[in-house]
Amino acid sequence: MYVCLCKGITDSQLRAAIKDGGSEFKRLKKELAVGTQCGKCVPVAMSILAEETAKN
Whole-angstrom Cα distance, residue 30 to residue 51? 20
| Per-residue contact string for residues 16-55; x = within reach of ligand FES by CB under 6 A | ------------------xxxxxxxx--------------
Stretch that binds ligand FES, among 5-13, 21-29, 47-55 (CB under 6 A): 5-13
Q: Cβ 17 to ligand FES, closest distance in Å?
A: 14
Closest listed residue to residue 35, CA positions, set 14, 56, 21: 14
24: how many CB neighbours lie within 10 A of its CB?
12
Give the binding site for ligand FES (CB under 6 A).
4-7, 34-41
